[in-house]
A = this chain, B = another copy of it.
Amino acid sequence: MAATIKDVARACGVHVSTVSRTFSAPHLVNPATRSRVLAAADGLGYRPNRAARALTTGRTFNMGLIVADISNPFFPPLIKAAQAQARGRDYHVFVADTDEDPRVEEELIRTFTKQVDGVLLCSPRLSNKMIERLAEDVPFVVINRRIKGMPAVLMNVAQGAKLALEHLAGLGHRRIALVSGPIGSWTSNEMQGAAAETPGLDLVFFGPNQPTEAGGLAVAADVAACGATAVLAYNDLVALGLIEGLAAMEIGVPEKISVIGFDDILPGRLNRPKLTTVAMPAVAAGRMAVDLLLQSGGEGATVTLDTALIVRESTGRAQT
């Protein structure tokens, strides 16, 4: 069906190796021959079969990007940034979604092995041990997870959480609810760690929770009942769910309870009240992850990106 290297070779009376070299090492072939080959290839609509090429070279010029949930608006900007960056490096990025299921995640990684040159693992749910084992088969860059000796792009969640808590403290809040994410989430741990280190607060923990609007909705009643006047949510989706749930109970945000999210996603900006949140450098992270994968001969460089508090309308003075 599609033209192969042989067809091109036959068409202009040279050996296949010459055609091959025309594409992968042009300086090794006579300019005259080269243009003959190019012309023939163009005429036949020839494009090298990347799978076959990968078989001998071991390089596919593809990379995989695995995320837990494409529906979470946090990921798309990261994905787009990674794809754009990769495109500039002559690479393509294939995205896959695990539905928050570690088994699917593992299966996906195994599928990617040998079809890509490396995998960007975004907020993985797999255990460290499993990730280390899989890393023997395909290079990883991990985003938002710290694993010994593995290249990683981290967002400074602890710093952001600290900023958020200080902001709340400054508004007079003392009893603060911490609504965490799913089990095994590095981000959750970082948040809790930062909170525990911040003095003078009376913290109440809730978790694990689904990292979605539904998750926030589900804990809204408990949060309301615990007597906290402010809550720091695992991410914006959870925060939005919380606000929704509180609204259903006629608890005003920020009049009665202040809410801070994480990520800075679009729906948070459109929401009423507009969400106060810790902005995560998703775009920069996507770019960095690609570069790290391409550079790393497997060495475990770690890049940490700063976060920033964005104060909007969902936080206010504590009730006196």
In the bound assembly, the distance between CA atoms of A13 and B70 in angstroms comes to: 46
Contact B267 A49 (CB under 8 A): no
Q: Which residues of B contact A87 (CB under 8 A)?
A: 104
Q: Which residues of B contact A224 (CB under 8 A)?
A: none
Partner of A96, one of B77, B95, B97: B95
Partner of A71, one of B47, B73, B240: B73
Q: Does A50 count as interface, using CB distance less than 8 angstroms?
A: yes
Q: Does A115 count as interface, using CB distance less than 8 angstroms?
A: yes
Q: Which residues of B contact A99 (CB under 8 A)?
A: 80, 83-84
Q: Which residues of B contact A60 (CB under 8 A)?
A: 51
Known: A80-B71, A114-B51. A96 touches B92 (CB 8 A): yes
Q: Which residues of B contact A70 (CB under 8 A)?
A: 70, 75-76, 79-80, 95
Known: A52-B55, A113-B2. A213 touches B266 (CB 8 A): yes
Contact with B along A72-96 (1 / 0, CB 8 A): 0101110110011001000011111
In the bound assembly, the distance between CA atoms of A54 and B94 in angstroms comes to: 18
Q: Which residues of B contact A1 (CB under 8 A)?
A: 136-137
Q: Which residues of B contact A319 (CB under 8 A)?
A: none
Q: Does A35 count as interface, using CB distance less than 8 angstroms?
A: no
Known: A1-B137, A55-B55, A96-B93. A50 touches B266 (CB 8 A): no
Q: Which residues of B contact A115 (CB under 8 A)?
A: 50-51, 62, 115
Residue on B with the closest CB to A267? B267
In the bound assembly, the distance between CA atoms of A60 and B52 in angstroms comes to: 12
Residue on B with the closest CB to A84? B99
**19 additional contacts (CB under 8 A) given A71-B80, A79-B97, A267-B267:** A2-B113, A47-B113, A55-B55, A62-B115, A70-B76, A70-B95, A71-B266, A76-B76, A80-B99, A83-B97, A92-B96, A92-B108, A92-B111, A94-B96, A240-B270, A266-B267, A270-B270, A271-B271, A272-B272
Q: Taking beta carbons and an 8 Å cutoff, which residues of A are in contact with B? A: 1-2, 47, 49-52, 54-55, 60, 62, 70-71, 73, 75-77, 79-80, 83-84, 87, 92-97, 99, 104, 108, 110-111, 113-115, 136-137, 213, 240, 244, 266-267, 270-272
Q: 20 A-B Cβ contacts within 8 A?
A: A1-B136, A2-B136, A2-B137, A47-B113, A49-B114, A51-B55, A51-B115, A62-B111, A70-B70, A70-B76, A70-B79, A71-B73, A71-B80, A76-B97, A80-B99, A95-B95, A213-B266, A267-B270, A270-B270, A272-B272
